[in-house]
């Protein structure tokens, strides 16, 4: 499987994402600059965390208009797995690939610490390696991670089982403790916690590795012909 790590001006978790794929999964991965206009050669697209374009206007608001984003939309429409983490999640929201918006943390402070998540839905290409209801530890690092949507959208998220991860002890005020959601089609995941920073016990834990393993396993089941 071949992954693209999209690099925007201000991305700072792209190296972590690259490491998770290349060194921990052993899969192919390339950095792809934000002005690239085709992602056809890639099987999965990763939007890393950071401060794209300095977070001017709103987090992700300028990155949403980068030249690469029509290709990201095309990949999403084709059913390819798209993962947006932290700033990547914010970009997916701004691009309309996921519903809702991000607000400042309730504390109005930047939060950087490990948090416990509950796996609410393990029937996705991103969470299949987890047990339903499993508690995992993944670090967060954000100032605007307070997820919000209107009541109608929240009802749809629940009805379609689009809430994948929730916080056990909500660090930012996020609505309904939401930490990660997927689109209705099930191939676009946005989450504020950083699974790429939890892929090796030497770094404090490896609970995030199963997320990437889930993506690869799902892709292989769908695309690799067994002899």
What is the set of active-site residues?
A: 86, 194, 196
Can you list the positions of beta strands (E) in 75-218?
82-85, 101-103, 111-119, 135-142, 146-148, 163-167, 178-182, 188-191
Specify the pairing of strand 188-191 against strand 82-85.
Answer: parallel
Distance CA 79, CA 33 (A): 22
Under 8 Å between Cβ of 45 and 19: no
As a whole number of angstroms, the distance between CA 211 and CA 227 comes to 27
DSSP helix/strand/coil, 216:
helix
Helix %, strand %, coil % for the chain, to 5? 30, 25, 45
Pair 94, 60: CB distance under 8 Å: yes
């Amino acid at each position: 499987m071949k992954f693209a790590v999209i690099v925007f001006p201000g991305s700072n978790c792209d190296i972590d994402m690259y490491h998770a794929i290349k060194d921990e999964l052993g899969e192919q991965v390339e950095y792809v600059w934000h002005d690239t206009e085709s992602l056809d050669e890639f099987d999965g697209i990763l939007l890393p965390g950071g401060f794209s374009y300095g977070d001017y206007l709103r987090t992700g608001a300028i990155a949403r208009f980068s030249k690469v984003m029509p290709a990201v939309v095309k990949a999403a429409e084709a059913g390819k797995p798209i993962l947006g983490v932290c700033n990547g999640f914010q970009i997916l929201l701004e691009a309309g690939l996921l519903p809702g918006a991000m607000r400042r943390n309730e504390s109005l402070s930047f939060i950087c610490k490990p948090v416990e998540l509950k796996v609410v839905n393990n029937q996705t290409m991103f969470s299949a390696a987890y047990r339903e209801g499993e508690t995992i530890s993944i670090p967060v690092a954000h100032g605007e991670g307070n997820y919000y949507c209107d009541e109608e959208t929240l009802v749809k998220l629940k009805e379609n089982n689009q809430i994948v991860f929730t916080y056990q002890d909500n660090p930012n005020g996020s609505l309904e403790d939401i930490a990660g959601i997927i689109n209705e089609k099930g191939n676009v995941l946005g989450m504020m916690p950083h699974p790429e920073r939890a892929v090796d016990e030497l770094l404090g834990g490896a609970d995030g590795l199963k997320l990437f393993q889930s993506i690869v396993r799902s892709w292989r089941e769908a695309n690799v012909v067994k002899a």
